[in-house]
Amino acid sequence: MTTQTFDVAGMNCTACVMHIEGIEDEIQGIESIDVNFKKQRMVVEYDESKVTEEEISRAVKLAGYTATNRKDA
């Protein structure tokens, strides 16, 4: 398992948090997603043999937000 922190842009209410956390149920390999509205961040625990950072970022983008890997920021 890998844990990665992403900055998330585009969240403007707490419903956005639930929307992003719903990605956990849609993508195989994601163990957990914890989104912090106040800090505009999410922490994702995932199985890197089943899903990549890029796939996670793409899923967040499809949900209407932008996720940037914290180590790239």
At residue 21, φ and ψ (nearest 5 deg) are -65, -25
Residue in the structure block whose two tokens are 């043999």 = 49
Domain containing 34 — which CATH number?
3.30.70.100
pLDDT under 50: residue ranges of the chain: 73
Domain of 46 in residue numbering reads as 2-69
> What does the pLDDT read at residue 44?
97
> What does the pLDDT read at residue 5?
96
What's the pTM? 0.88
What is the number of structural domains in the chain? Answer: 1
Q: To 10 degrees, the CA torsion angle through 8, 2, 25, 61?
A: 30
